[in-house]
């Protein structure tokens, strides 16, 4: 059993507790926005899913496949590692949203407004590649006169 999970470089948070706190804050703000925008009634969570996008914001994995996060550190670490090794991936985020209905009955009958608000937390971003000089690659140090 893992007591402390170390997330790889590019992870935007120090630990799982910080990630969960950011998700809670984002969800709470989106829910409050839904209540303010829609007024009284029923606000229903749409759940949450993981998403991997490329540098242009194109979805590489997520939503359509319904890539869900179980809430554990290990499952999140697995997702970060998968994103790191997905060709073209630049970002992993977790996102969700809320639906609105006037009454519980309306919600049950399918009479609701889908996705009245949404939220997203970026978990991991690919760090820019560092350009290495040829001398660094082979372990040479430049001659002082060359500097």
Each residue's pLDDT tens digit, 85-124: 889 999 999 999 999 999 999 999 999 999 999 999 999 9
- pLDDT confidence of residue 56: 93
Q: Let me know how long the chain is.
A: 147
In this model, does residue 24 exceed pLDDT 90? yes
CA distance 59 to 48: 16
Give every CB contact of residue 27 below 8 A, 6+ residues apart in sequence.
45, 48, 96, 119
In this model, does residue 14 exceed pLDDT 90? no
Give every CB contact of residue 66 below 8 A, 6+ residues apart in sequence.
49
Task: Identify the three-state secondary structure at position 134.
Answer: helix
Stated pTM of the model: 0.77
Q: Identify which of 80, 76, 54, 50 has the alpha carbon closest to the alpha carbon of residue 62.
A: 50
Quick check: 74 and 2 in contact, CB under 8 A?
Answer: yes
CA distance 77 to 18: 14
In this model, does residue 9 exceed pLDDT 90? no
Quick check: 121 and 94 in contact, CB under 8 A?
Answer: yes
- pLDDT tens figures, 37-81: 998 899 999 888 889 999 999 988 886 566 777 778 888 888 888
In this model, does residue 138 exceed pLDDT 70? no
Task: Identify the three-state secondary structure at position 84.
Answer: helix
CA distance 55 to 29: 27
């Amino acid at each position: 059993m893992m007591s402390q999970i170390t997330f790889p470089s590019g992870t935007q948070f120090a630990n799982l507790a910080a990630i969960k706190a950011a998700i809670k804050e984002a969800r709470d703000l989106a829910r409050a926005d839904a209540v303010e925008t829609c007024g009284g009634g029923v606000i229903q969570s749409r759940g949450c899913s993981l998403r991997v996008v490329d540098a242009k914001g194109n979805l590489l994995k997520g939503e359509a496949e319904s890539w869900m996060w179980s809430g554990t550190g290990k499952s999140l670490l697995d997702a970060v590692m998968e994103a790191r090794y997905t060709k073209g991936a630049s970002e992993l985020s977790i996102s969700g949203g809320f639906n609105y209905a006037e009454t519980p009955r309306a919600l049950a009958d399918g009479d609701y407004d889908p996705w009245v608000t949404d939220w997203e937390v970026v978990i991991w971003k690919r760090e820019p590649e560092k350009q290495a000089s040829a001398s660094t690659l082979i372990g040479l140090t430049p001659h002082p006169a060359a500097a």
